[in-house]
Amino acid sequence: MSDPDIRPGETTVELPAPGDAALRFIGRIRTPWAQREECPRQGRMDGPECRIELNPVWHPALNGLEDYDMIEVLYWLDRSRRDLVRQSPRSDGATIGTFALRSPVRPNPIGTSLVRLVRIDGGTLIVRGLDCLDGTPLIDVKPDRCAFTPMAPPKS
Ligand SMILES: C[S@@+](CC[C@H](N)C(=O)[O-])C[C@H]1O[C@@H](n2cnc3c(N)ncnc32)[C@H](O)[C@@H]1O
């Protein structure tokens, strides 16, 4: 049966129902974008302020994050299909492998962005540089690796 969401040249695979990973979402991301068409392809540092709302149990985990200007955010692109192997993102019909793209359509739809930390309000991070839909589940937050100095002793 033809699938209206598939473009010419794109291919899919048959997959079992998802359920083989047990991620815990730790909060939600609040952005101005309700529809994919409105959402930037990649976040920009001059983009709008967005809110990363952590579940209360994780608020103490923010201790120390205020020292960083740039942080890495990982999120679950929950409204993506997950079965495309080759994709045709451009209008010229060229197809490209899923792993050669940063498309939200991937077997495990994890998005990552390096964002500017504007401020922390209690358990909410105010950031610029995101590119996800309003309500996107949050997977993780880390300091930018370039600014981070490991706290643990050197490995022998
Ligand atoms: C190209 S992806 C890039 C994500 C991330 N910066 C990365 O490189 O891993 C961003 C696009 O994903 C789509 N998107 C955003 N949030 C989504 C969500 N929750 N579910 C499905 N698609 C989403 C929007 O079309 C947005 O423009």
Its pTM stands at: 0.92
Atom 18 (ligand 1): residue with closest C-alpha?
Answer: 77
* 43: Cα separation from own chain's centroid: 10
Q: Given pLDDT bands bounded at 50, 70 and 90, which one contains residue 21?
A: confident
* Distance between Cα 59 and ligand 1 center (Å): 25
Query: pLDDT at residue 132 above 70?
Result: yes
Q: Please report where in the chains the tokens 């049966």 appear, as a residue.
A: 1
What is the residue-averaged pLDDT of the chain?
A: 94
Q: What is the pLDDT of residues 48-92, one digit of tens each?
A: 999 999 999 999 999 999 999 999 999 999 999 999 999 998 888
Domains of the chain: 39-90+115-146 (2.40.30.70)
In this model, does residue 149 exceed pLDDT 90?
A: no
User: Which band of pLDDT confidence, cut at 50, 70 and 90, is reported for residue 108?
Assistant: very high
Give the distance (Å) from ligand 1 centre to CA of residue 153.
37
pLDDT at position 18 over 80: no
Asked whether residue 1 carries a pLDDT value surpassing 80, the answer given is: no
135 C-alpha to ligand 1 centroid (Å): 12
For ligand 1, mutation pick of 76, 133, 139 (most atoms within 8 Å of CB):
133
CA atoms within 13 A on the CB side of 41: 4
Contact 103, 81 (CB under 8 A): no
Determine contact, residues 87/103, Cβ cutoff 8 Å. Answer: yes
Q: Could you tell me the distance, in angstroms and rounded to a whole number, from the CA of residue 89 to the centre of ligand 1?
A: 13
CA angle, 45 then 149 then 118, to 5°: 25
Other C-beta atoms closer than 10 Å to the C-beta of 25 total: 14
16 pLDDT higher than 80: no
Q: Which of 1-5, 17-21, 27-31 has the lowest mean pLDDT?
A: 17-21
Lowest-confidence range among 5-19, 35-49, 111-125, 131-145? 5-19
